[in-house]
Amino acid sequence: MAVYNPKSLKAEEFINDEEIRATLAYAEENKNNVELIDQILEKARPVKNGNGCTCRGLTHREASVLLACEIPEKIQKMYEIAEEIKLAFYGNRIVLFAPLYLSNYCVNGCVYCPYHMKNKHIARKKLTQEEVRAEVIALQDMGHKRLAIEAGEDPVNNPIEYILDCIHTIYSVHHKNGDIRRVNVNIAATTVENYRKLKEAGIGTYILFQETYHKKSYLELHPTGPKHDYDYHTEAMDRAMEGGIDDVGLGVLFGLELYKYEFAGLIMHAEHLEAVHGVGPHTISVPRVKRADDIDPDMFDNGIDDETFIKIAACIRLAVPYTGMIVSTRESEDVRRRMLRVGISQVSGASRTSVGGYTEEERPHDTEQFDVSDQRTLDEVVHWLMQTGHIPSFCTACYREGRTGDRFMSLCKNGQILNCCHPNALMTLAEYLEDYASPETKETGYKMIEEELKRIPKDKVREIAEKNIQDIRSSNRRDFRF
């Protein structure tokens, strides 16, 4: 029997089934233990520390107790502290991005994904470099600066060389005032050598969803193809970090397995990265199983309702306070609005989950990986974020200034967000307002910028930000950053 060890590099030791089961039993036993719950909530709360804040985070056992808790006033307290943590470390900024699907050729047999090899009626498509270029121009014309590229696993159709060519093409497109300044990559688990190549290509975050941490379920859900290898998949982040990528993104596909098991596994994975590499995940995504081409989410009997989903997000924020948290257009406007209050720091906008699709006026459905619930335009999402008191941010400065991995975390922990990320967000918002916004969004945006500039603590930083925003408004000069 494998023994639990967060410092181990073996999947079955750092995501240990016996430890997860013991954790769930402990959480069930203590879900009404008010004294313990209060202690855990107090531990999670951010503590003022000079100019900044510190947060201790929670262990997988502590966080699992909160997730199991059913006492309404304690759940409300979790939500309040989650928002407190989000504001302490990320402010009221929400980073925007879009996915770009490059190819849906895939050799795996994942039973929850329409790209699985046995699906003979979905149209198979792979973008040429010319098509990638056209998609990037369409995305730039909306105002996007940050992409997450996605591709099925197929060594013949989607080898690493194809992915690298696409990254090079994306970074090479400079259209009007538009640039994609950061490419995050969501592709199948690969070798240390290939991760090095991705790092050299200038990627931002490497993202890989675990789908499920429950090994038996994992093997059943991935019956064929290279993804069937649970250990190789689960150990991918360690190879990515060995290859020099220090920003990695975790995620579970909630609904495949019992959510409390998945939650404990996810927090244990974050603890493992911290224990071995000294820095936890840069982001955690929280997708849910959705309807798609030949996929019916009702086939999976572990679906979770909105209330549980929002509670999961809040508990992740309490457990892993410094990580960025992502919710996509899989979710409705209403769910996304509620999740902004419990710790989400990144959202996608105007996403197309088909291969390409941004160059077409009508949303194509023939190659979609999943149904999109929030179908608003990027301008509508930007306007909505401002109405809810959030700064829509297109900032990519930290990545391009080398503030990644533990360097980003130290910036986050030292409370420098208001002097660095906050003005960067305002300057990128000004770019969006000048180049892409509707008149109504533009008016709302500049009112917000005027108010938000006052919140920058350092006079010198505020003066530079104000001058740069004036430059953006009066010229084609772009890409100012702290």
Checking if the pLDDT of 66 tops 70, the result is yes
Closest-CA residue to 210 (of 245, 184, 234): 234
Q: Is the CB of residue 457 less than 8 Å from the CB of residue 422?
A: no
pLDDT at 369: 56
Q: Is 404 a member of any domain?
A: no
Q: Structure tokens of 300?
A: 């999976």
Q: Which phi and psi (to 5°) does residue 451 adopt? A: -70, -45
Q: Are residues 75 and 46 in the same domain?
A: yes
Report, as an integer, the average pLDDT of 215-236.
97
Report the alpha-carbon angle 402-250-190, nearest 5: 80
- pLDDT above 90 covers a percentage of the chain that reads 81
**Which residues lie below 8 Å from residue 479, measured CB to CB, with a gap of 6+?**
179, 181, 431
Checking if the pLDDT of 372 tops 80, the result is no
Checking if the pLDDT of 430 tops 70, the result is yes
Checking if the pLDDT of 298 tops 70, the result is no
Checking if the pLDDT of 418 tops 70, the result is no
Q: Is 199 a member of any domain?
A: yes
pLDDT at 117: 83
SS3 360: coil
Report the C-alpha gap between 90 and 421 in whole angstroms. Answer: 8
Which secondary-structure segment (H or E) carries 67? helix 60-68
Least confident of 169-173, 316-320, 327-331: 327-331
CATH of the domain at 243: 3.20.20.70
Q: Are residues 83 and 95 in the same domain?
A: no
Report the alpha-carbon angle 195-196-199, nearest 5: 90
Q: Which phi and psi (to 5°) does residue 88 adopt? A: -65, -40
Report, as an integer, the average pLDDT of 348-357.
92
Report the C-alpha gap between 391 and 178 in whole angstroms. Answer: 20
Q: Is the CB of residue 13 less than 8 Å from the CB of residue 52?
A: no
Q: Is 125 a member of any domain?
A: yes
Q: What is the DSSP letter of 427?
A: H
Q: Is 177 a member of any domain?
A: yes
Q: Are residues 246 and 321 in the same domain?
A: yes
Instruction: Write out pLDDT tens, residues 7-50.
Output: 999 999 999 999 999 999 999 999 999 999 999 999 999 998 87
Q: Are residues 27 and 100 in the same domain?
A: no
CA 452 from chain centre, in angstroms, equals 25
Report the C-alpha gap between 394 and 61 in whole angstroms. Answer: 36
Q: Which phi and psi (to 5°) does residue 474 adopt? A: -105, 0
Of 87, 106, 131, which residue is a domain's last?
87
Checking if the pLDDT of 448 tops 70, the result is yes
Residue that has been written with the tokens 């994904």 in this structure: 113
Of 375, 404, 432, which residue is a domain's last?
375
Report, as an integer, the average pLDDT of 457-466.
94
Reported as a pLDDT band with limits 50, 70 and 90, residue 365 is: low
pLDDT at 295: 47
Q: Are residues 205 and 265 in the same domain?
A: yes
Q: Is 398 a member of any domain?
A: no
- pLDDT above 70 covers a percentage of the chain that reads 94
pLDDT at 399: 73
Q: Are residues 121 and 165 in the same domain?
A: yes
Closest-CA residue to 333 (of 385, 289, 273): 385
DSSP for 286-314, written as a single string: --B---BTTB-GGGSTT---HHHHHHHHH
Checking if the pLDDT of 292 tops 70, the result is no
Instruction: Write out pLDDT tens, residues 103-119.
Output: 999 999 998 888 878 87
Checking if the pLDDT of 240 tops 60, the result is yes
Q: Are residues 114 and 237 in the same domain?
A: yes
Reported as a pLDDT band with limits 50, 70 and 90, residue 405 is: confident
Least confident of 322-336, 369-383, 412-426: 412-426
Q: Which domain holds residue 465?
A: 416-474
Domain total for the chain? 3
Q: Is 121 a member of any domain?
A: yes
Of 30, 55, 87, which residue is a domain's last?
87
Q: Are residues 356 and 422 in the same domain?
A: no
The mean pLDDT value of the chain amounts to 93
Q: Is 425 a member of any domain?
A: yes
Checking if the pLDDT of 182 tops 90, the result is yes
Q: Are residues 61 and 128 in the same domain?
A: no
Q: Are residues 336 and 205 in the same domain?
A: yes
What is the pTM (predicted TM-score) of this model? 0.95
Checking if the pLDDT of 169 tops 80, the result is yes
**Which residues lie below 8 Å from residue 112, measured CB to CB, with a gap of 6+?**
211, 221, 253, 256, 289, 295, 300
Reported as a pLDDT band with limits 50, 70 and 90, residue 120 is: confident
Q: Are residues 103 and 76 in the same domain?
A: no
Q: Is the CB of residue 184 less than 8 Å from the CB of residue 204?
A: yes
pLDDT at 123: 87
pLDDT at 426: 98
Q: Structure tokens of 257?
A: 């397995």
Q: Are residues 454 and 430 in the same domain?
A: yes
pLDDT at 291: 54
Q: Is 213 a member of any domain?
A: yes
Report, as an integer, the average pLDDT of 262-281.
97
Count of residues making up the chain:
482
Reported as a pLDDT band with limits 50, 70 and 90, residue 250 is: very high
Closest-CA residue to 313 (of 93, 21, 86): 86
